[in-house]
Structure 1
């Protein structure tokens, strides 16, 4: 119980508060020291972020062959042929003539309906428009499963009988269609045997299917529903067939079926033309892939085929309607050749044929893209200079030791603007003249100025040889400047030598390019700063780095001191409470004596 001046008339709260303010002075200093450590830690981490960004940009710019070996392509007639060049293009020249045909994509259309035949409404169910077709009766079920590291997989559908309809079933493993067999074992890797027994179906593959393999199965039961199927075959660049099978339910619309086909692995796009009532299919790739037949092959009732190959389906396709599907044919440097596409790449040069011609020759060549390489090196120099300016500014920043961090009590008496200005000076100079950072910056300068002893027979062994030197102003502390004419000449004369000056690799530092050296030095710098201030290299807990351990120790001291302050405050209150009680008793005694001396004399 605390008594607050009722007997003495003193403001005990004020007195204890003033006494505790004096007692808290050491605590305030510890809190200010903690704030200073936190600001220092953030300064170091901001430098580490700067180092990390520069390190990543080095890898993405001057160490990339695609950036430092950038080339441009030229064509003597861009109306006929255009070209682009990668860094691997070299200085080759190509003569292209006799472009007798351009590559086209194969396409097919369905048979045009008679004038009296109703056209398909692609938004309505197929059953409502094709009731007379021979739909199969049964429920359609789709399941996605995982393999079990064995050849067998059993599917159950309790309460329904699974139909033995392997002609229409679809089994895919990792998106690849498997051939269904039911009278003989599966022997090939793309075959699967199905055995039916009531509500169960067992699939047996030629090879074990792993637990990471995705299996999709479409099968049929004696449940409600109607369906038919169709299949499409195309060919890949090796002339190998690519097949897919589609289960079409009577409740589906034509638009829904075509959308499924467009997503298929066979690589065709399809659409329905309501003007002609026909469906058009086009391969997504140009070129001739099946030299012995059609580029797009259709099968199954949905696409209008029965056992007599008569049109009986919904989309009645005709192989005779196929067009296109041809390779580009041309002569390059005297060699007559073909390509599936009108755009192709030869030795890093991407060439695009725009038109056919049988007279004249188009010359294609490549040269170094001096501007692109120059801009890459210029960007490296500018970013290095910016990093240098930032760190030198931090190392030179003035430390205002009279401006210690504000305590909460001090902030109560200041405006927001006053707090901002004060803390601006408090934070200044957190890493002034820091030896760790100064050491790293000296290492960077040595990396830049040292010669590169690569195996290439190039005269460009130092930055100065390509026109990159330090400024004459010693106050710049090693900032770089570029002699543009000299740098451009070096790029044009020996682009690979300039690239190796930055990116060469080797077992010793002397054999490594300056950018590679700097990346290694930046790695060491980031590691060193993380050891001190954390925030990188997995050091995120205070106990893992120096300043963090200092903070932990300081937090322990603050906690211990807070307990001590609490004890001191309680002691003050006990003392003042005892004083108040004593004064209260004295007052009571004085009042009693006064009453006895003066209050009882009225009888005399």
Structure 2
């Protein structure tokens, strides 16, 4: 800590501080410019997170087929024979289904007498894996199950079950009855193949060949090994053969209410994003309000600082070219919704989506009754406006749907923001880190380097001032000493 001049009586620290004030103004202005750029980068990140959320969360969920192409089913008739479930790819229409056969698994049962139940596999006559080996091999469906030659029937059943994935079969042994049951893991014909001498030539007590499932849908017969079918996008699970003369009827229709809910949610999220960005683009910029230095904040109340900085930070993204370009492209992409669909006569039929007045700045407005009418008239064409896919995803494309065009537009914007501000390409986290290789980060590094050089320069100038005052103090002390000597001499 430097002291006041003892010889001169001057407040040196205060004088140096006053002399440095003008020079520090240049430094303070540099810091303020950097602060403004940091605020701008943070505001870019705020917009980037909203765009990423719309791009990766909202648009993706709206574009799911079970959302925008939702189906509902009406089942009647013999509902005990099978269960039916319409998927997003189900074709609308009526299906009449009869279950002719339920798929079953092949099964063979072997019975062993009381004496045999206590014997080892070797004693039962199972062939050793090799001459002199301590194991026996049992081949099921062309795969081997290896067990000890001293193993019992219960051990064999456990070994088969332990290898069920490999041999595609399971076993059940009842020690009380001596019955060993081998069943195919999968239903259908030809799913169980046992080696001829797998049980030493023993003939099965009972044997049942597997059966394929067979159903008739609208007069066409379908057969397969399993009990699950998918026909025209409808999942069928066979449970029992249809009762004589009966059938199950499935009516697949578009779930209009769910589709409307999806479109309403899309419009809400779209308007929210457009509104947030338009607010930033039109926010007033108060050029006379600059960021405050620590010294300036000391002269103000907390409330005054808050009000000042709210104005100083306002308008950082006013008329920003990246964001305004995205808004423009999104509005172009949405024009296909406003144009509607063509009816049977080639005339345009509104789907109930329009833009508001000038003050709405591109927000979409929905007339739900018109949307419902359009869906009931031609749901596929309405849905296609949103979901159509094509290589041309430019905003004005007539072949891509709105979701694809808006996905391309927002992806392009996120890329532009990353290049300029270092924001994330995919994250909707407001605290996500900035990438180093961006235009703003490069500018910030340059500013910090300039501030560092300025700080060193100011320190050198300040030290020079103190040296001068110190020299002055030395000279005054010398003069005072000489004056005292002369006074003493004259006395």
State the alpha-carbon separation in 1 of the partners of residues 75 and 120 from structure 2.
Answer: 56
State the alpha-carbon separation in 2 of the partners of residues 561 and 248 from structure 1.
Answer: 86
Aligned partner of 1:503 among 387, 391, 394 = 387
Alpha-carbon deviation of 1:549? Answer: 3.8
Alpha-carbon deviation of 1:526? Answer: 3.2
Alpha-carbon deviation of 1:15? Answer: 4.0
Alpha-carbon deviation of 1:113? Answer: 9.2
State the alpha-carbon separation in 2 of the partners of residues 37 and 8 from structure 1.
Answer: 46
Q: Which runs of 5+ in 1 are unaligned?
A: 119-128, 135-165, 169-225, 235-240, 311-317, 599-604
Moved more, 273-282 or 554-563: 273-282
Aligned partner of 1:571 among 460, 464, 470 = 464
TM-score by length of 2: 0.76
Query: Does residue 1:83 correspond to 2:84, yes or no?
Result: yes
Alpha-carbon distance change, 520 to 96 in structure 1, aligned in 2, over 3 angstroms? closer
Alpha-carbon distance change, 394 to 279 in structure 1, aligned in 2, over 3 angstroms? farther
Alpha-carbon distance change, 559 to 494 in structure 1, aligned in 2, over 3 angstroms? same
Alpha-carbon deviation of 1:54? Answer: 2.5
Query: Does residue 1:480 correspond to 2:373, yes or no?
Result: no
**Alpha carbons 1:75, 1:81 under 8 Å: kept:** no
Residue in 2 aligned with 1:529? 417
**Alpha carbons 1:8, 1:583 under 8 Å: kept:** yes
**Alpha carbons 2:289, 2:312 under 8 Å: kept:** yes
Deviations 1:115-170 (A, max 9, x none): 9989xxxxxxxxxx999999xxxxxxxxxxxxxxxxxxxxxxxxxxxxxxx958xx
State the alpha-carbon separation in 2 of the partners of residues 60 and 324 from structure 1.
Answer: 48
Deviations 1:396-435 (A, max 9, x none): 3333445432334445677877765554443222112335
State the alpha-carbon separation in 1 of the partners of residues 149 and 449 from structure 2.
Answer: 73
**Alpha carbons 2:95, 2:251 under 8 Å: kept:** yes
Specify the SS of the correspondent of 2:266.
helix
Aligned partner of 1:558 among 448, 451, 464 = 451
Counterparts of residues 195-274 of structure 1 (less than 5 Å): 228=135, 230=137, 233-234=140-141, 243=143, 245=145, 261=163, 264-267=165-168
Residue in 2 aligned with 1:389? 275
State the alpha-carbon separation in 1 of the partners of residues 18 and 244 from structure 2.
Answer: 103
Residue in 1 aligned with 2:29? 29
**Alpha carbons 2:341, 2:351 under 8 Å: kept:** no
State the alpha-carbon separation in 2 of the partners of residues 248 and 595 from structure 1.
Answer: 125
Counterparts of residues 286-305 of structure 1 (less than 5 Å): 287-290=187-190, 295=192, 297=194
Alpha-carbon deviation of 1:350? Answer: 0.8
State the alpha-carbon separation in 1 of the partners of residues 129 and 4 from structure 2.
Answer: 98
Alpha-carbon distance change, 247 to 38 in structure 1, aligned in 2, over 3 angstroms? farther
Deviations 1:524-549 (A, max 9, x none): 4334434432325699655642x334
Residue in 2 aligned with 1:468? 353
Aligned pair count reads 471
Alpha-carbon deviation of 1:369? Answer: 1.9
State the alpha-carbon separation in 1 of the partners of residues 293 and 111 from structure 2.
Answer: 87
**Alpha carbons 1:451, 1:461 under 8 Å: kept:** no
TM-score by length of 1: 0.64
Counterparts of residues 513-528 of structure 1 (less than 5 Å): 513-528=401-416
Cα RMSD (Å): 4.7
Moved more, 31-40 or 345-354: 345-354
Counterparts of residues 62-461 of structure 1 (less than 5 Å): 63=63, 65=65, 67-77=67-77, 78-97=79-98, 99-105=99-105, 167=129, 228=135, 230=137, 233-234=140-141, 243=143, 245=145, 261=163, 264-267=165-168, 284-285=185-186, 287-290=187-190, 295=192, 297=194, 308=200, 320=205, 325-356=210-241, 357-410=243-296, 422-450=308-336
**Alpha carbons 2:418, 2:438 under 8 Å: kept:** no
Q: Which runs of 5+ in 2 are unaligned?
A: 427-432
Alpha-carbon deviation of 1:372? Answer: 2.6
Residue in 2 aligned with 1:218? none
State the alpha-carbon separation in 2 of the partners of residues 279 and 565 from structure 1.
Answer: 96
**Alpha carbons 1:108, 1:296 under 8 Å: kept:** no
**Alpha carbons 2:422, 2:437 under 8 Å: kept:** no
Alpha-carbon deviation of 1:562? Answer: 1.5
Deviations 1:565-599 (A, max 9, x none): 1211221222122223323333443444455455x
State the alpha-carbon separation in 2 of the partners of residues 131 and 73 from structure 1.
Answer: 56
Query: Does residue 1:56 correspond to 2:70, yes or no?
Result: no
Specify the SS of the correspondent of 1:430.
coil
Aligned partner of 1:580 among 465, 469, 473 = 473
Moved more, 319-328 or 451-460: 451-460
State the alpha-carbon separation in 1 of the partners of residues 21 and 209 from structure 2.
Answer: 93
Residue in 1 aligned with 2:482? 589
Aligned partner of 2:378 among 477, 480, 494 = 494
Alpha-carbon distance change, 461 to 512 in structure 1, aligned in 2, over 3 angstroms? farther
**Alpha carbons 1:96, 1:333 under 8 Å: kept:** yes
Alpha-carbon deviation of 1:496? Answer: 1.9
